[in-house]
Structure 1
Amino acid sequence: MSSPRSDRPVNPLPPVVVALFLVIIGIEAVFNLGARGLIGGPEAVGWRQGAIQDYGFNSDIFGWMVQNNVWPMTHVKRFVTYLFLHGSFTHALFAGVMLLALGKFVGEVFAQWAVLVLFVTSAVVGAVVFGLAMPEQQRWLIGAFPGVYGLIGGFTYLMWLKLGQMGAQQFRAFSLIGVLMGLQLVFGLIFGANRMWLADVAGFAAGFILSFFLAPGGWARIRAKIRHR
């Protein structure tokens, strides 16, 4: 007899991925309803900008914390909270769809806690790199894409392993990130440079490296290689 899991035509989404998606879309829905005057009254029109000011990641604030070695929780929280703020419904929708797609693939292999750690840690690394770069024309970082790119790093790691097991060329695992970076370049040339790609690339790199430790058996595999050497 086959197991109930194998009888399902589509594997369910990992709960942690669904939860992250619902938070992103829920916050965006509140902003949209407020901007349309459906909830919150006249002041609701400025909810999005107010939230970005209070919870978005800002390179100037980060630079001030680094320079003075002062890390108040009011600003430290920005390393994570910026993930759930977006500039528009389209921005949030694209991020949410990619989160579901990549989260489903990675979540079928990684543990639930590992998916969350991968998403959040990649976003933190992305924010740090963005803050250190200190873009002159763009000091605010918002959106889930650095965390999503961390999941792309996890996806790339899994493809890298699979290609290695098949004896195929493992550099093919980086095709997805190559295409996405190419699109970033094209959009930048057409619509103007957007420095958020710094956080995306850093998030991807962090996600790929973290996957060596977070994937099932990853740490044991690394120790085995060290002992073999």
Structure 2
Amino acid sequence: MSNGKPEPAVNPLPPVVVALFIAIVVPEAIFSLGASGVIGGPGAVGWRQAGIQTYAFSSDIFDWMMANGVWPGEHLIRFVSYPFVHFSLTHAAIAGVFVLALGKMVAEKFGQWQMLAIFVLSGAFGALVYGLVLNDPYPLGGAFPPDYGLVGAFTYLLWRGLGAVGENQARAFTLIGALLGIQLLFGLIFGGSGDWVADLAGFVAGFGLSFFLAPGGWASIRAKIRHD
């Protein structure tokens, strides 16, 4: 009890996390309802494919832009729009759960705008590395790369916490190791694309950005530079 008001049983989600979750869920709901014939009529069956063609990241289009030095806005937007276009309901559901769980934690520790910056920039960096490293015609879609950016931020918190108490900081990377191991196993069993490259790049971006966006992070970096 505080000031005569009962404490909520569950801490409320930061608004930015709710907004990202809605941005993931709403397109998927439209695609799924359309494919089921609930809305949109016969033409709605192709809504998901149309969304992927318009908003997913394409290595072929990226290669074309690189080769011609032309950067149309309708294609540059793919760097930040692809996390909100998923290939299935399950794909979107898992990505949404990651946003709720890790997004809440990162937003509460870093701040809401910092969390959003990590999500957006990690996703964009994941797409960039995917386009540069692979020549994969399969489009990149879904929020896993920016979700892995949030994993990177969470890993930073663990890494810094372990260092503060003199523990082995390598233990902080257990989660990313387990996630990539599971992803590799599923890829070997069921087959898959090279999107793990974007996921790993998203993690690296999230971890690296945390040095600047975590509370006191930039001040710590400046102090270390001055000391050296």
**Within 5 A, what are the aligned runs for 1:32-47?**
32-47=32-47
- Given the superposition, is the C-alpha separation of residues 6 and 126 from structure 1 closer, same or farther in structure 2, using an over 3 Å criterion? farther
Kindly indicate whether the alpha-carbon contact (under 8 Å) linking 1:153 and 1:207 is maintained by their aligned counterparts in 2.
Answer: yes
Kindly indicate whether the alpha-carbon contact (under 8 Å) linking 1:60 and 1:134 is maintained by their aligned counterparts in 2.
Answer: no
Query: In the alignment, which residue of structure 2 is the partner of 1:90?
Result: 90
Cα distance in 2 between the residues matched to 1:5 and 1:60:
57
Structural RMSD (CA): 1.7
Cα distance in 2 between the residues matched to 1:17 and 1:84:
14
Q: Unmatched 5+ residue regions in structure 2?
A: none
Kindly indicate whether the alpha-carbon contact (under 8 Å) linking 2:159 and 2:170 is maintained by their aligned counterparts in 1.
Answer: yes
Q: Unmatched 5+ residue regions in structure 1?
A: none
- Given the superposition, is the C-alpha separation of residues 105 and 5 from structure 1 closer, same or farther in structure 2, using an over 3 Å criterion? farther
CA deviation string 1:151-181 (max 9, x = no partner): 0000000111111111111111101000001
Query: In the alignment, which residue of structure 2 is the partner of 1:179?
Result: 178
Cα distance in 2 between the residues matched to 1:153 and 1:160:
10
Kindly indicate whether the alpha-carbon contact (under 8 Å) linking 2:27 and 2:85 is maintained by their aligned counterparts in 1.
Answer: yes
Cα distance in 2 between the residues matched to 1:165 and 1:89:
41
1:188 aligns with 2:184: no
Q: Aligned pairs, how many?
A: 228
**Within 5 A, what are the aligned runs for 1:95-134?**
95-134=95-134
Cα distance in 1 between the residues matched to 2:97 and 2:11:
17
CA deviation string 1:60-119 (max 9, x = no partner): 000111111111001000001111000110000000001111101111111111111100
1:29 aligns with 2:25: no
TM-score scaled by length of structure 2: 0.95
CA deviation string 1:189-210 (max 9, x = no partner): 1112421100000000000000
Q: Aligned letter for 1:227? A: R
4+ residue runs over 6 A deviation: 3-6
Query: In the alignment, which residue of structure 2 is the partner of 1:77?
Result: 77
- Given the superposition, is the C-alpha separation of residues 73 and 15 from structure 1 closer, same or farther in structure 2, using an over 3 Å criterion? same
- C-alpha deviation, 1:5, in angstroms: 10
**Within 5 A, what are the aligned runs for 1:49-64?**
49-64=49-64
State percent identity of aligned pairs. Answer: 61
TM-score scaled by length of structure 1: 0.95
Query: In the alignment, which residue of structure 2 is the partner of 1:147?
Result: 146
Query: In the alignment, which residue of structure 2 is the partner of 1:163?
Result: 162
Q: Aligned letter for 1:208? A: F
Q: Aligned letter for 1:91? A: H
